[in-house]
Amino acid sequence: MLYLITILLGNFDHSLFKSIYIFLISFFSNTFSAISGGGAGLLQLPALILFGVPYYQALASHKLATVALGIGGSLRNYKSLGNDISVAWQILIFGLPGVILGASIVEYITEKYLYLILGIISILLAFYSFLKPDLGLSSGCKEVNFAHKIRFFIFIFLIGILNGSISSGTGLLVTILLIKTFQMDFLRAISMTFFTVGIFWNFVGAVFLARIGSVPSNLLIVLIIGSFTGGYFGAHMSKLNGNVLIKKTFITVCILVGISLLAKSIKSFL
């Protein structure tokens, strides 16, 4: 009897420690993601893989948890969506087919090349944002002509494919694309990213990825709680501190995501 109790307590302690660890990683990674507009997968996805969750199941779990991030961030900054509902529809109409395609072919593509490309893009985004002091600090209403709209649709579709297959860093790409195309500030662009990518893209991607294998429900609950609270807290911090803090965090997260993805790519080539 004493032996059984010891085993049960050991399992409970291990399970409790595991849950606390996952919650803290989820909370902090999603807090920074809520401020920067993406990058939650930098810590959250590798943490799940380290716990022995297969890549596709870990990616599905991460995406479902990131839906909670999107809801938490949108609840805090829903007013920032303003009159951008038409932009949201464009992101959903042209991005969701890309997400579905990416989630459908993830089993058949070589991840190392995608990691390499996305890692380089993330680092270039950081340097570009750093070299453009005024980028994303003020909001305007830029007139978008037909050619720019077509380019926006193509980029959104391609980012959707990356979101469905890799996930890490794609929110950052959408954020900077919104700033460049529609002259949004960071707060406005991030609010749009949470609403479209965080909630709808990630939910659809998670549904398609979940068909590959079952999602571990015990960790998923902890991830969802950490993502929601981290998303709300991060959105609250960004609302209080404004675009300067958001931009600095965006640059930092872009660099960290880029380095992480490049490291994964180099490791897979060796």
How much is the pLDDT for 59? 75
How many CB atoms lie under 10 A from the CB of residue 67? 22
Integer Cα distance of 258 and 121 in angstroms: 7
Write the DSSP string, 194-223: IIIIIIIIHHHHHHHHHTTS---HHHHHHH
pTM of the model: 0.78
* pLDDT, tens digit only, all 270 positions of the chain: 433 333 433 444 456 777 788 888 888 888 877 777 676 776 777 777 767 677 677 777 887 888 888 887 777 666 667 678 889 999 999 999 999 998 887 767 666 777 777 778 888 888 888 887 777 666 666 677 888 899 999 999 999 998 887 766 788 889 889 988 988 888 888 888 888 988 899 888 888 777 766 666 777 888 888 888 988 888 887 777 777 777 888 788 778 878 887 887 788 777
Topology adopted by domain 35-269: Growth Hormone; Chain: A; (1.20.1250)
How much is the pLDDT for 1? 41
How much is the pLDDT for 140? 66
Q: Where are the domains of the chain?
A: 35-269
